[in-house]
Amino acid sequence: MRILQYICRKKFEMVLEACVETLEEALKARELGAHRIELCSRLDLDGLTPSEELISQVCAALAIPVMVMIRPRAGDFVYTGEEIEGMLRDIDKVKTMGASGIVFGVLTPEKRVAVTLCRRLAERAFPLPVTFHKAIDVLEDPAEGVRELLECGGITRILTSGGRPTAREGAAKIREMMEAAAGRITILVAGKVTCYNVLEIRDLTGAHEFHGRRIVGDLTSLAAGCR
């Protein structure tokens, strides 16, 4: 049996979020069954804020939710005041363009969640839902980061591989993070999660939402999903 067919039978149990950086990839992800899109530019740099033109094109073309990355530069997640002001302006623009949600992550120089700044950004994003991205995995203890994000308010999801390179390696920490979230924030599992292993990762973590470049198949080739 094709793996994708089996996954389709299990879709009611899972939410699959595809990470894309072009309109073509977004359309293909929808075709292959993605429930939601995370839209970025420069995935070779782990994702930056996409252009206004791309945001408009993707939001106009897709009926499924489009979450837009707000990240002004590559590198760490400790931002200057000027960079934060730029992120606020970008959020304002994205809210007028049909996006369904915002994705960001901000840390302190001590590698803690920058609670005050996160609260400010989340308040500006309201009423759109907010995903705190994999900056959480830079922390010494991502589960403590969950508890810090609970203080922010307005954070809907946390994207994580449990502080490890892959979700499989971070499965125990992901379970700990889900316990810390206590149902108040959804843990969105990433880290080499594909349509081939998502059922295994679901069983290892107990999570229900999953994110990846190949979560519904290869978006960069002519192949139609997982075979």
What secondary structure letter does DSSP report for 138?
A: G
Residue/partner pairs of 137-142 with CB below 8 Å, 24 or more apart: 137/161, 137/162, 137/163, 137/164, 137/170, 138/76, 138/77, 138/107, 138/111, 139/107, 139/111, 139/112, 139/113, 139/163, 140/111, 142/173, 142/177
Residues 188, 209: contact at Cβ < 8 Å?
A: yes
pTM of the model: 0.92
Tens of pLDDT along the chain (227 residues) come to 344 545 554 555 799 999 999 999 999 999 999 999 999 999 999 999 999 999 999 999 999 999 999 999 999 999 999 999 999 999 999 999 999 999 999 999 999 999 999 999 999 999 999 999 999 999 999 999 999 999 888 999 999 999 999 999 999 999 999 999 999 999 999 999 999 999 999 999 999 999 999 999 999 865 555 64
Could you please state the CATH topology (level 3) that the domain comprising 19-207 is classified under: TIM Barrel (3.20.20)
